[in-house]
Amino acid sequence: MMRKTTFVAGLSFLIMGYGAYSGEHWSYHGKTGPEHWGDLKPEFIMCKIGKNQSPVDINRIVEAELKELKISYRPGASYLVNNGHTIKVSYGKGSYLEVDGTKFELKQFHFHAPSEHKIKGKLYPFEAHFVHMDKNGNIAVIGVLFKEGRKNPVIEKLWKNISSKVGEKVKITDKINAYDLLPKKKRYYRYSGSLTTPPCSEGVRWFVMVEEMELSKEQIEKFRKLMGGDTNRPVQPLNARMVMKQD
C-alpha cells in the first residue's frame, strides 16, 4: 500500500509540473535541448530510448468506431505561472474527462508554439495541452491545435495575467472555463504516447482534436516573445504505433 501511495504521489508531482519538470535544467535549444534530454539525468532516459514517445506526426491513421469523449469541465482556472518553458494554468477540482470507463481529473493546461503535433506533416502555430490524471496516477492529455485567425477571448483573458518574471504565480480573477478552449466538434485522433517534456514518461493516453481553434497573430507573438522562441519538442517516430481517428 505504501509503494502505491508513493507512486501516485510521485506522478501527482509530475503531472502538476508537466510542461516544466521542476528542479532540473533543460530547454528547447542548444546543449540542453530535446536531442540531449535523455543524457541530462538518469531519470530522463526515456526521452532517449523510449519507443512510444510524443509528440508525433499524425499520418498513419486508421478510421475507428471510437466512443465520444465525455468532457465535464466547469470554471476552475485558479492561477497561472510563467515557468520558463510555457504558461501553465492550474485548475481547481471538479472537472473531468471520462474515457475507457475511467474518470480523469483536469489538473492543468499549458501551451506550445509552434505546435508539437503535426497532422500529415502540417505544423500549426500553437497548441494547447489539457492534462488529466485518474485516481491511480494514469495520465490522459487532450491536445488542441490552433491556427492563426481571430482573437481568442479566453486566451486574451489569460494573457492579461501573464508575468514576465519566471516562477511568479498570478491569481486568475476572471471566470475561465477550459471547455471554451475546446472546439465545438469533439472528434479526435487517439494514440498511446508520452509526456512531451522530461522525463518523457510513457503510457499517456493522447486525444488530439481533429477540429482546430483560432487565436490572433498578436496573441501568438506575445507568447513566443515571452518564451524566447520555439517551445515544441520535435515529432518522434511512430514506430509500430497506429493512430486511430474517430469516424
Q: Annotated catalytic sites, by residue?
A: 85
Q: Which amino acid type is present at position 4?
A: K
Alpha-carbon gap, residue 190 to 39, rounded angstroms:
29
Task: Say whether 28 sits in a helix, a strand or coil.
Answer: coil
CA proximity to 53, closest of 66, 62, 44: 44
Q: Which residues, in sequence order, are CB contacts of 79 under 8 Å at separation 6+? A: 89, 90, 169, 170, 171, 172
124, 146 Cβ separation under 8 angstroms? yes
Strand partners, 80: 89, 170
Alpha-carbon gap, residue 212 to 140, rounded angstroms:
19
DSSP state of 246: E
Residue 188 C-alpha cell reads as: 479526435
Strand partners, 144: 128
Residue with cell 511512430: 238
Strand partners, 208: 143, 189
**Centroid of chain to Cα 41:** 22
